[in-house]
């Protein structure tokens, strides 16, 4: 694998770039702000916030940002057999969630690539590229697998997965993230997944607690706090509901 370039661009004025002879590497472009227009293999599309564009090697590519529009994006040029095997059949444009972990990985690659050549760590860059690539592929596959599910429900799921174990997690935060009322979120989630948002959050918390019980020596009280339960008594009650045994019994067996 090889990273040719990784960066972030923001265009506040009219902009145009063209690669009419085709790109030599894979181009991954994630729209984070505003609107842009792209042409890939002769097909013109308008891309908005959350759209992931993948241009494969040898494909012709053009980008426009019209006067009066603004556009922000992360972009990555890379190549290699591993990348090709992962994305060979991926669609050109996929709407994905702008997850904090995804943006953080992109930032890390940018920072590593900006280091002086003699200070760069090629192994670290490869691991970061693999982590970003697998994260993107998972989001693409999730979108394809759950095409029948409203996109907003997937957004709710991703938000809950990322924030369920944080202190003060509330359903109101999920609703605000999706720009919907709490009642509407509750209805859509239950309708599509046959479980409540709280049930889903509890599953995430219990899973995180089990990992910490298995791989750390932290006390159960500390694990309870780390996983967002608020109190050990509440953690004990929820855990026993899911596993039929108290946390200390399960930990002893682990």
What are the tens digits of pLDDT across the range 95-133? Answer: 987 888 889 999 999 999 999 988 888 899 999 999 999
Tens-digit pLDDT profile for residues 124-167: 999 999 999 999 998 888 777 655 567 788 889 989 999 999 98
Residue carrying the six token digits 């953690």: 235
pLDDT over 90 (residue 26):
yes
The strand pair at 43-47 and 15-19 is best described as unpaired
The CATH homologous superfamily of the domain defined by 151-197: Homeodomain-like (1.10.10.60)
Residue intervals in the chain for CATH 2.60.120.280:
2-145
Strand order in the sheet with 36-40: 15-19, 61-65, 36-40, 43-47
Tens-digit pLDDT profile for residues 55-82: 999 999 999 999 888 999 999 999 999 9
Rounded Cα distance, 34 and 13, in Å:
12
Q: What is the mean pLDDT of residues 217-240?
A: 93
Residue intervals in the chain for CATH 1.10.10.60:
151-197, 208-253
Domain 2-145 has CATH 2.60.40.3880: no
Domain 208-253 has CATH 1.10.10.60: yes
Q: Note the pLDDT of residue 127.
A: 94
Q: Which two tokens stand for residue 246?
A: 């108290």
* 0.75 exceeded by pTM: no
């Amino acid at each position: 694998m090889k990273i040719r370039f990784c960066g972030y661009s923001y265009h506040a004025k009219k902009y145009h770039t063209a690669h009419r002879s085709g790109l030599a590497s894979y181009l991954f472009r994630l729209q984070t702000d505003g609107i842009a227009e792209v042409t890939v293999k002769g097909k013109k599309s308008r891309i908005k916030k959350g759209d992931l564009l993948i241009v494969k090697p040898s494909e012709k590519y053009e980008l426009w940002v019209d006067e009066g529009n603004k556009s922000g994006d992360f972009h990555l040029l890379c190549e290699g057999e591993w990348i090709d095997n992962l994305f060979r059949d991926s669609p050109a444009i996929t709407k994905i969630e702008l997850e904090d972990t995804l943006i953080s990985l992109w930032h890390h690659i940018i920072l590593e690539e900006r280091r002086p050549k003699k200070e760069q760590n090629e192994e670290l860059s490869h691991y970061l590229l693999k982590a970003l690539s697998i994260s993107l592929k998972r989001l693409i596959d999730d979108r394809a697998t759950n095409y029948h599910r409203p996109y907003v429900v997937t957004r709710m799921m991703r938000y809950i997965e990322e924030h369920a174990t944080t202190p003060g997690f509330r359903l109101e935060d999920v609703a605000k993230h999706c720009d919907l009322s709490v009642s509407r979120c509750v209805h859509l989630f239950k309708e599509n997944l046959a479980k409540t948002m709280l049930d889903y959050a509890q599953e995430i918390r219990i899973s995180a607690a089990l990992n910490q019980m298995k791989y750390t020596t932290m006390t159960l009280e500390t694990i309870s706090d780390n996983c967002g339960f608020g109190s050990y008594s509440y953690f004990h009650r929820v855990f026993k509901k899911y596993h039929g045994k108290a946390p200390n019994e399960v930990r002893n067996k682990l």
